[in-house]
Amino acid sequence: MKKIKPIRIIIYIFLIAMAIIYLAPLLWVLMVSFKDSNHEVMTAPFSLPQSPSFDNFTFAWTAGKLGVATLNSFIVCAVALIFSMVIGSMAAFGIARLRWKLSKLSLTYFLLGMMIPVHCLLIPLFTRFTRMGLSNTLTGIIIPYVTFSLPITIYIMVGFFEGMPNELIESACIDGATIYQIFAKVCLPLGKTGLFVTGLMTFVGNWNELLLAMVFISDDFKKTLPVSLSKFVGPYNTNYTQMFAAIIIAIIPTVVVYCAFSNQIVDGLTAGAVKG
């Protein structure tokens, strides 16, 4: 019988402890969302619901307008994801595979965008979008979402494109492929793992974004999910069961995305680490 090394046992114990630390709050929020009232939460916060009910989820979806907010978040995140991945991958291909003098400087310029906090741009963006008629519109938050997603997308995709063998590009050129065909039919399929990683980071980041959406959107029927969640917290009273039910509804899409693409995410991060 093969003996298990002590260091491996320690690693397993550490990983199990970390899994419990991360999953315990999520399971507690799920349990509280099925309770009837705040009184049950305060008197027995860690006990199972006495009479589990889906009324909190129904209230959050209808009265809390989470249905409309979820649709708005899907529209905003989907459009921003498509634009950021298309523009970012094209820019990364131009920087990584095309030979021109300002390629490194261009990459540095894009990476500077990662150093600019969004708080510094709230006032100028708000005044400019107001003059352009983009305030209180979904377009007004899609544009900043795409802009702030581009630096990390370009940075990751440049690493993937630079790690591709030059022989593939040369073979495509010999066969008469244009630069657009090389990008679409050779480099982009080989870099799909990087697209999965950047796409997930963009989607989750935009899905959870609160500040821009809260500042730029004032119409209740145009608010995104994080802004609608903030309405469940009152200045004098908060219904925790309804709020936790709304939180569960809000995190379901991100959990589903992580579970569906977990293998691609691990492969992408591993490949990026090896190429770096």
One-character DSSP codes across 1-36: -PPPPHHHHHHHHHHHHHHHHHHHHHHHHHHHTTSS
The rounded Cα 127 to chain-centroid distance in angstroms is: 27
pLDDT at 272 > cutoff 60: no
Calculate mean pLDDT across residues 209-223: 88
Distant-in-sequence, close-in-space partners of 230: CB < 8 Å, separation ≥ 6: 210, 214
Model pLDDT, residue 275: 46
Identify whether 4 is part of a domain.
no
The answer to whether residue 160 is domain-embedded is yes
pLDDT score of 110: 87
Count structural domains, the chain.
Answer: 1
Percentage of residues in the chain with pLDDT exceeding 90? 17
pLDDT the model gives residue 274: 45
- Tens digits of residue pLDDT in 70-106: 999 999 999 999 999 999 999 999 998 887 888 888 8
pTM, to two decimals = 0.82
Domain that holds residue 246: 59-275
Q: What CATH number should be reported for the domain holding residue 96? A: 1.10.3720.10
Alpha carbon of residue 2 to chain centroid: 43
pLDDT (0 to 100) of residue 107: 87
The answer to the question of residue 194 being in a domain is: yes
Asked if residue 134 belongs to a domain, the reply is yes
For residue 83, tell me if it sits in a domain. Answer: yes
Q: Of 163-177, 231-245, 250-264, where does the model show the most confidence?
A: 163-177
